Amino acid sequence: MLGAGILKGLAETARNFLGSYVDKDRLTTVQFPEERAPRIEASRNFPFLVYDGTAKQEGLRCVSCLICEKECPPKCIFIEKSTDKKPDATGKLQFYPATFNIDISVCMSCQICVEVCPFNAIKMDVDFELSTTDRFSDLLWNKERLAKSNEYYREIHPIEAAAVDAELAEARARVAGAKAVTTSPPAQPSSGSSVEK
């Protein structure tokens, strides 16, 4: 008969209505600015630059190789290479970015810059409260604003950061080993880096 399903539906909504006053578990709303849902490790949205140690600008891992700038699909990364070099984390002399800007209004959070970076210098952040009052200057993030410490990275993506740290430690060990090897008779192939030097 027409009406039985209607009454059933009405009973269900009435139960929800009354139940939400009695049983607090029904209300799953997270009241945002005060309450926050637990942060999920896999979440990501905008890239940031990782720095090691405490020096915010000097410790940047980025060596200004421009790969991410080339690969970024919407072309929202703008890098200017430095003219001088300075020692990187492993003590090797490297270029560093004189400017490193990302237009976050264009960035589409594709993570490609992160995937292509050979130096683990750029990673995805989880910060989502990015609203600004000025759409012209506040949306173009410079080096200062993009730099975040490795500790922060470990905090937001613990598993990923542990892997990166292990990889970097291994690379450092290899460099240290190679240095030790270069003092003994050279075992390197004859062609290679000697040409560049």
Partner 1 sequence: MTPETIDQIFVISKHWLLGYMPTALQPIGSAILSVVPVLVVFPLLFAITTVLERKGLGRIQNRYGPNRVGPYGFWQPIADGIKSLTKEDVVPRTADQVVHFLAPLLLVLAAFLGYAVLPIGKNMVITNLNAGVLFFFAVGSMVELAVFMAGWSSRSKYSLLGAMRAVAQMISYEVPLVLAAIVIIMASGSLSTVAIVNMQATYTGIWPHWFLFTPWGFAGFILFMIAATAESNRAPFDLPEGESEIIAGYYIEYSGFKFALFFLGEYLGMFATSGLAITLFLGGWAAPFSFLTWIPSYIWFFLKLLTLIAVFIWVRGTFPRLRMDQLMGLAWKFMLPMTLLNIFTAGIWHFIPEGILRWLVCSLLIVAPWILLSRGLKQRKKLQVRTYRFAE
Q: Do 70 and 113 touch, CB atoms closer than 8 A?
A: no
Closest by Cα among 39, 22, 26, 37 to 158 = 39
| Binding partner of 146, given partner 1, ligand SF4, none, CB within 5-8 angstroms per partner class | none
Alpha carbon of 146 to those of 110, 122, 128: distances in Å?
A: 17, 9, 14
SS3 label, residue 7: helix
Radius of gyration (C-alpha) of the chain in whole angstroms: 25
Q: Give the nearer residue to partner 1 in terms of CB position, either 20 or 43.
A: 20
**Is residue 1 a contact residue for partner 1 (CB under 8 A)?**
yes
Q: Which is nearer to partner 1, 27 or 173 (CB)?
A: 27
Contact partner, 102, from partner 1, ligand SF4, none, Cβ < 5-8 Å per class: ligand SF4
- Beta-strand runs (E) in 33-171: 47-51, 77-81, 86-87, 93-94, 97-103, 122-124, 140-141, 147-149
Q: How far is the CB of 148 from ligand SF4 (least distance, A)?
A: 13
Q: Residue 1 has which token pair?
A: 């008969």
H helix count then E strand count, the chain: 7, 8
Binds 190, which of partner 1, ligand SF4, none (CB < 5 to 8 A, cut-off by type)? none
Partner from ligand SF4, partner 1, none contacting 113, C-beta within 5 to 8 A by type: ligand SF4
Applying CB under 6 A, the residues found at the interface with ligand SF4 are 47, 62-68, 72-74, 76-77, 79, 102, 107-113, 116-117, 119, 121-122
CA-CA distance, 149 to 49, in Å (whole number)? 8
How big is the site for partner 1, counted in residues (CB under 8 A)? 19
Contact partner, 47, from ligand SF4, partner 1, none, Cβ < 5-8 Å per class: ligand SF4
Residues 2-61 close enough to bind partner 1 by CB under 8 A: 2-3, 6, 9-10, 12-14, 16-17, 19-21, 26-29, 31
- Least separation in angstroms between CB 129 and partner 1: 17
